[in-house]
Chains A and B, each alone.
Chain A
Amino acid sequence: MPTRASGLLLFQGTRPAARRGLRVPIHKEPALSQPLLEVKHLTKYFPGIKALDGVHLTIRSGEVHALIGENGAGKSTLVKILTGVYFPTQGEVLYEGSPLVLRNAIDAQKAGIAAIHQEASMFPELSVTENIYMGHHLTHPKTGRIDWRKMRTETQKLLDELELDIDSNTLVKNLGVAQRHMVEIAKALSLHAKVVIMDEPTSALSLREVEDLYKIVRRLRADGKAIIFISHKFDEIFEICDYYTVLRDGKYIGEGKVSEASIDSIVRMMVGRSLDQMYPKRNINSGRTILSVKGLSQLGYFSNVSFDLHEGEILGFFGLVGAGRSEVMRTIFGIDRKTAGTISLDGKEIQIRCPSDAMAHGMAFVPEDRQEQGVILEMSIAKNITLPQINPISRFGILNRKKEKSITETYGSKMEIRAAGWQVDADTLSGGNQQKVVLAKWLATNPRILILDEPTKGIDVATKAAVHQFISDMASKGLAVILISSELPEVLGMADRIMVMHEGFLQAEFSREEADSDKVIRAATGNASGGGVA
């Protein structure tokens, strides 16, 4: 199965062209014209780190240019330089052939460079109109008074142009994620941007919304805008982009036409080696039922969720953002209250009122947002790892340092955490190593059931592989693992059984054998189910 081996191909089933040749002719080639924006030998130092080291980037009008690289490759730094947030240490940015100095966000705006940010940077309490015009409100020329009527009509014009069904008076907090993105794009247009930077624009969108976004991207391209498209998803790159530039460790690796590239060639450029084996193979020997959930509901979030979990099994939970997967797990772990349903352990019904109940029953939960919920950045690695066990390792309220040290060493080295020592603070670690700390922490509690919520989100490919290996090892030793992931290849590659959720309901269940990307995606988007539960 070549597609699964390549691993990173997402949503392949719905994009036949991408599956067949991994080469997608999209539209006729734009004629090579003078570059609109040229980045030359760009270097940016931060104390102790070379974030960018002689990077090049050449963008022409009317092209969609993919900026590709792993986390930490320097994409965000480059974007921040182009939008005037950082000032480069060395190198230059040329705009239509002449040097451009970007000292702040306003300079970038004036130059016609606009970024649509990863975490939508908007003002939730203000109207769509005002979000679009914040920082450059339209005013009456004489009085300097803000001209609300003009701003509203202009906004409505922009929204209509993009064929968006959004009222300019709506408060942004009442808009969905996708609509917010569209408003950000409208904002870029209102600034007469010629270069539009999109930083992972699809990460929180549903499939239909992604299609809408593509439509707008194509329209911008037809209007002669240059678009820098940052994405981790190869299907998107092959669907929408014309050219690509790859960065690795802050260095320029190469560029080319997307139509002449393949996933393998790009991955090789990204990681410096080929990734033929992404997911560890493993003999499945799932044992008896350990956890049994029946009719679990939480009003407004999910309802009637039932499933069994076996020893030594990896149970995958797939669904779109907002499908209710994390909420189910939070409820099982006692963080949120259930409104109906039962949870049984080893055949006996148990009551879980708070996380410490769940931990006492041998459960461990690695949450999705490791900075907010997982790692305590101001604490040392050792303290982080032993945090859930402060009681067991202390006597009469006094911490047993020796025990703390031995636990940390055992699990820290098992997870291969790379750090100067166990006493350094967690905030000095890279994202991947922080994730390892979180895993080590829960592993050290010797759980029987391990719940992982997006364990590889935002970490680099090498750490990802280590985490996958770790999950497989644990399952082989009889641990029951629940794996929530929004990355389809990860679920398909890792899970023994896959539960698919859609808008708060369990939509389908697939065994490893019967699951393929097409069926799973259909179920996740609420289309005809292929599996047993429905």
Chain B
Amino acid sequence: MKGIPSFGKIKQRRETSLVFLILLLLLVVTLRSPGFVSIKNLQRIINDTSILVMVSLGQFFVILAGGIDLSVGSIIGFSGMAASMLNEAQPTLPAFVVLLVGVLIGTAFGALNGALVAFGKVPPIITTLGTMSIFRGITFVLSKGQWVTAHEMTEAYMLLPHGNFLGISNLIWWGVLVSTVLYYVSRFTRSGREVFAIGGNKTAAKFVGVSERKITMMIFTISGMVSGLAGVMWTARYAAAVNETATGFELQTVAACVIGGVSIAGGSGAVSGVILGALFMGIINNALPVINLSPFLQLFIQGAIVLFAMLINTLSEVRRGKKLLQERLA
């Protein structure tokens, strides 16, 4: 019996209910618009959601340790702009070098966040609120307010997300790669498990020798790194680098985590939940026009979903506590 999860346990898991919820959502939308659940359309939705999946997984590590990263949108904006401008200025430079530069910029920005939190002892929410503005600000300084548009980008650059392999777009493969690596980190590396420890009980983590500084540096660096990658993907995919790229995107990443059952207090959550949470957001975003809801409602609906998911998280905790108590009294 031991080690094999019973059906009851599977039923209790957030991932299971999310899968059902997503299926239900697909069903409802299909009733309104039969073409919605075609292989092609689903592929399109997953493609659209890949960037959200990556960045949400970075956010996941930060939230898991009890922090939050509000600067992901601005990091995407800056690294995307910097990579696009490099591509424009040096069209002969191979695309993967440009990609690497974008990733490195994101990594450096993430490390800066990490250093401010780990060594400067500035709370994560304040640190990243500050850097959110700073990174966005220097994006404008760098671009002098100008855009980089499709005809200024090289073919190779735009193929980074747009190419395909085995009939599946590169962007999806990038999402799969990031998911696999971060799943492995969270499950099978010591540092990954130590993130759970820091978020679950800081004092206890210290007692077993977990270095809070190291973990803090690591999570913000990971978040910055995937945001840097996402920046390159974003600009190449939409064939435009604008100064407002990914503004407000941090909300969506937090939403994906909360919907995926990640505790905002830290210490619990899983990569699988976050991926499903991001897909759920992606389907909602794609379904709105299909069911004739104004895209202007998108922000409103996103916010409402976050609050609703949060309510469910808290209520289920309360109910679990009551149930435990009643079992004790019974």
Interface residues of A (CB under 8 A from B): 83, 85, 104-106, 109, 115, 117, 121-126, 130, 134-137, 139, 144-146, 148, 152, 156, 167-169, 174, 300-301, 322, 503-504
Contacts and interface: CB of A to CB of B under 8 A. Distances in A.
Q: Determine chain A's interface SS by DSSP, over half rule.
A: loop
A140 B181 CA distance: 18
Contacts of A135: 194, 197, 205, 208-210
A398 B281 CA distance: 52
A295 to B, nearest CB: 17
Contacts of B201: 121-124
B3 to A, nearest CB: 6
Contacts of A105: 206-209
Contacts of A300: 322, 325-326, 329
A123 B207 contact: no
B187 A134 contact: no
Contact of A130 (B2, B3, B193): B193
A503 B189 CA distance: 43
Contacts of A106: 209
Nearest to B201: A123
B200 A146 contact: no
B222 to A, nearest CB: 18
Contacts of A136: 208-209
A137 B192 CA distance: 11
The size class of the interface chain B forms with chain A is: 20 to 34
Given A135-B210, A146-B190, 7 more contacts: A105-B209, A115-B207, A134-B197, A144-B189, A145-B188, A146-B193, A503-B329
A132 B207 CA distance: 12
B215 to A, nearest CB: 12
B209 A121 contact: no
B323 to A, nearest CB: 9
Contact of B3 (A125, A137, A152, A301): A152
A167 B3 CA distance: 9
A156 B187 CA distance: 20
B2 A104 contact: no
Interface centre among A109, A115, A123, A139 (most CB of B within 10 A): A123
B206 A123 contact: no
A169 B2 contact: yes
Interface in B165-196: 184, 187-190, 193-194, 196
Per CB-CB distance, the 7 closest pairs between chain A and chain B, nearest first, are A135-B208, A121-B204, A125-B268, A123-B200, A106-B209, A125-B267, A105-B209
A322 B328 contact: yes
Contact of A121 (B189, B207, B263, B326): B207
Contact of A123 (B190, B204, B209, B324): B204
Contacts of A322: 328
Given A123-B196, A123-B200, A168 B207 contact: no
